Structures are given as structure tokens and as C-alpha cells.
Amino acid sequence: MKPVTLWSRILIPAIAMAWLYSGVHAADDFASRRAGMVKVIAALTADTSTETGRHALDARVMAAMEQVPRHKFVPPEEEPYAYENRPLPIGYGQTISQPYIVALMTDLMRVKPTDVVLEVGTGSGYQAAILATLARAVYTIEIVEPLGRQAQERLQRLAYKQVETRVGDGYYGWEAHAPYDAIVVTAAASHVPPPLMRQLKPGGRMVIPVGAQFLTQYLLLIEKSDDGTVSTQQILPVRFVPLVAH
């Protein structure tokens, strides 16, 4: 065994400290960028208040946006852009939605800590992670199998234990866990899927973009009253990838 020299006793701890410092610095940088992203979301919320009727988003939603590490839900080559307010490609022709839209859709759902939520279109798992900080349970479905498997592994690794994932056709919902207090669809449908309406609990809310891929799409807020009647509110124009169904 070689003797430990004075130089190695100095150098090895120094390298370890440098590595630790770089990790802490990176974590601080991401936290700072998340805080900046949240400020942008707040400014955009104020700018779009005429369309949405919301001058500010719920504090719990904003806290979730500042807490969840978006950079861990995008491919490595997209990580430098993770906290910019724009969608990013995640592979297989799919995207992670821009942070403002994620925050707005989450706010529209009015998720309570006791709620059970369904998400159609898991993607990278980012929206599910945001919901997991707010709800009791989140069930999320992804039709693109590789994305669904990746999201499942990612959510488990990041300890979002309230989330259960499934690969399948989200158009038909997830009957086993219905009814849901809230449903969110993260791809544009040509119409509101009837199975999802049936699985929405009386008193529940659904947020879904509706419209054709190359035409105007609108974000809709659908509310089911306690007596089962349905009301629909058009929030603002959006652009989403199309909802894929078998």
C-alpha cells in the first residue's frame, strides 16, 4: 500500500470540497432560475387577466411551480432551457408544456389536498409532479409507451409517491379509480371525450384544450355541478400537440 503523502491529504479533500461546492452552486442556480420562472408566470398572469379572469394564481400552485425541478423532466440537451417560459421537446413528437400554461391549468383545477386527480397525457411527468404536491393521489396515462415508462421511472426516482402511471389510451380515462375530483388533459382533443365526462365527479372540474392541430385551439374549463349539469368556459387560445387515441 502506498503511503498517503501530505500532498494527497491536501488534494483529495480539496477535490471533494470543489465537487461539493459545484453541486451546491448548481442547486442554488436551479433554485434561482425557478424563482425567476415563477416571476415570469406571475407577470403573464397579470397580462392575461382579461382573458382568464385571474389576476394572480393560487399561492399553492405558485409554490409547487417553484418547488418542482423542471430541469429533471426534460432531456439533457434541453436542460439549459428548462426554466424558460416555452415548451420543450421530450421525444416521440411530444413536448413539455410552457410553465405558464402548466401553472394556469393547475390553478383552474382548484386541487385540494384531499382530491384524487386524473391526468391524460403524462409526457415527461412534469404536470403529474406539480399535481402530486397538491393532491392526495394522481393517476396519469400516457399512450406513447417509451414516454410512459420513462415518466414512471422518473417519478419513482424523484419520490412522487402519490402518482400512479399507466400506459394506455387516455381518451377512455381510468375507470378503476373514478370518479375524479379533477381531470386535466395535456393534449388537444377535437371534442371533450365522453368517458372523461362520466368519470368526473359531481362538483368536479376538467381542464382540456380543444381544437384541431393546425387551427385555433382553446383551453376549456368544464365544471360538473352537484346535480350533474355541465358548464363550459373558454379560457384562452393555446397550442398543444394532438391527443392520440387508438
- Would you please indicate which residues are annotated as catalytic (active-site) residues? 97
- Backbone phi, then psi, for 140, in 5-degree steps? -135, 140
Exposure string of 129-167, with b = 16+ CB inside 10 Å and e = fewer, is bbbbbbbebbbbbbbbeebbebbbebbeebebebbbbeb
- Backbone phi, then psi, for 50, in 5-degree steps? -65, -40
User: Which of 225, 123, 94, 114 is CA-nearest to residue 184?
Assistant: 123
From start to end of 59-179, where are the E strands? Answer: 88-91, 94-96, 116-120, 137-142, 163-167
What does DSSP assign to residue 242?
B
Exposure string of 200-213, with b = 16+ CB inside 10 Å and e = fewer, is bbeebbbbbbbbee
CA 206/CA 216 separation, integer angstroms: 20
Q: Which three cell numbers stand for residue 203?
A: 362538483
What does DSSP assign to residue 190?
S
DSSP β-bridge partners for residue 116: 137
Locus of grid cell 400516457: 142
